[in-house]
Amino acid sequence: MKKSLVLMLVLLFTLSANAFATKLVIWESPGPETEFINSVKDEFTAETGIEIEVVGIDQLSQADKLALDGPAGKGADIVVWPHDRIGKAVMQGIIAPLDVTEEDLSPYIESAVDAMRYGGKVYGIPYAMETVALIYNKDLLPVVPNTMESLFTIAKELTDGEQYGFLYDINNFYFSYGFLSGYGAYVFKETENGLNVEDIGLANEGAIEGAKLLLRFRKEGLIPEGTDYSVADGLFKEGKVAAIINGPWAFAEYKKAGVNYGIAPLPKLSNGEYPQTFIGVKGYYISAFSENKDAALKFILWLTNKKNAYRHYKMNAIIPTHKEVLAMPEFKQNEDFLAFATQASRGVPMPNVPEMMQVWEPMANALTYILKEEATPEVALELAVEQILENIWEMKN
């Protein structure tokens, strides 16, 4: 009897500690995203008495840090990253499934919620959708052509000295994937039972055709060697680039730089198809090590409600996932939103299985070999697929 009473008291204390959390720690990338949370968090504190501490940690570094800090009790309660990292995080045991109802999830568009699912459970609350599109300088390129071939021709005419017609981080698989998939490449084969990670379409005829287009960008002088994200982004902000491939996260900086920019979906390829860029969904997740899971869930549902989703959109130009915000008339009149929404409708969801993490490095290496002409597209891509399959086997064994 005495032992049962002690256990009951321990349980009650644990539940009380969770129910009456006084502080939550959230990690978020430094810059506009931390600024947004800091701008609204005091309202939540006034409503609930729960203090919110925002720590600036890059989204792509958070999982590794949480795996180290979480067990020691030093990690965050809430973390943030793109949906493609969910699978690995679940395997690592560092994020917890959310105790949410269909009513809790009903405000968000279905595709965004689906991106937060893994193994039949929901692990995050979505707040933004992302893809890349063509961002152009209206002073240099008043009208975007309908085809990549026409854009290629115009870009060559505009490339002169320190001015460039078309630049982007071409060695980055995330940015270049649309050109491969538009010709028929795929990462993992879609089946009725989910993704078949043993069927990789990154060395098929479509992938090879797309890689040849990338090589053409390099060989014909459009995108010189050494062009990475910071180079292309910086030159665009200086008004020296007519068109760039980038995402909505860049809007704020381009506005600050005073660039007269517009946004358009990527033009049609030579096969009559459009580039199929990756679609990403960013979400808030709760650490498996958090002792304040109930309070953390309450906060992320509050942070993504209609009022805050609209604020988030206005402040950081995100494409929100809240249905009511997306239905606002101003979105239908927002050319920026419409362009990205159109591109997203032509894109493909980035796989959220753990095996996706084994794709990035081999494909980055393959693109480097191709663009430096150290290997043909056929050879480089076949080697990349072999390396991906080997990496997956090692991960599982």
| Per-domain boundaries in the chain | 23-130+279-349, 132-277+351-396
Sheet holding 261-264, edge to edge: 164-167, 241-246, 133-137, 261-264
pLDDT value for 71: 95
Instruction: For 221-241, write each residue's pLDDT tens digit.
Output: 999 999 999 999 999 999 999
Average predicted confidence (pLDDT) for the chain: 92
Residue 12 banded pLDDT, cuts 50, 70, 90 = very low
Of 94, 118, 96, the C-alpha closest to 195 is 118
- CA distances to 125, 247, 345 from 130, in Å: 15, 7, 11
Same fold? 23-130+279-349, 132-277+351-396: yes
Least-confidence region, from 13-17, 33-37, 53-57, 100-104: 13-17
- For the residues 80-87, what does the mean pLDDT come to? 92
> Residue-wise over 70-101: b if at least 16 C-beta within 10 A, else e?
beeeebbbbbbbbbbbbbbbbeeebbbbbebe
pTM across the whole model: 0.74
CATH class of 23-130+279-349: alpha beta
Pair of tokens at residue 15? 């539940």
pLDDT value for 13: 45
pLDDT value for 218: 96
More confident residue, 17 or 91: 91
- CA distances to 130, 179, 396 from 347, in Å: 10, 11, 29
Instruction: For 245-300, write each residue's pLDDT tens digit.
Output: 999 889 889 999 999 999 999 999 999 999 999 989 999 999 999 999 999 999 99
Q: How far is CA 298 from the centre of its chain?
A: 24
More confident residue, 351 or 179: 179
State whether the Cα torsion 217-220-224-230 is positive or negative. negative
pLDDT value for 319: 87
Q: 205-219 and 173-181 are packed helices; what angle lies between their axes, rounded to 10 degrees?
A: 120
Least-confidence region, from 16-20, 49-53, 55-59, 275-279: 16-20
Least-confidence region, from 62-76, 187-201, 357-371: 187-201
- Kindly report the CATH number that applies to the domain delimited by 132-277+351-396: 3.40.190.10
pLDDT value for 23: 96
Which residues are paired to 287 by β-bridges? 95
pLDDT value for 114: 83
Residue 17 banded pLDDT, cuts 50, 70, 90 = very low
pLDDT value for 6: 46
- For the residues 15-36, what does the mean pLDDT come to? 82
Say yes or no to pLDDT of 309 above 60: yes
- CA 164-269-238 angle, to 5 degrees, is 20
pLDDT value for 9: 45
Classify strands 121-122 and 261-264 as parallel, antiparallel or unpaired. Answer: unpaired
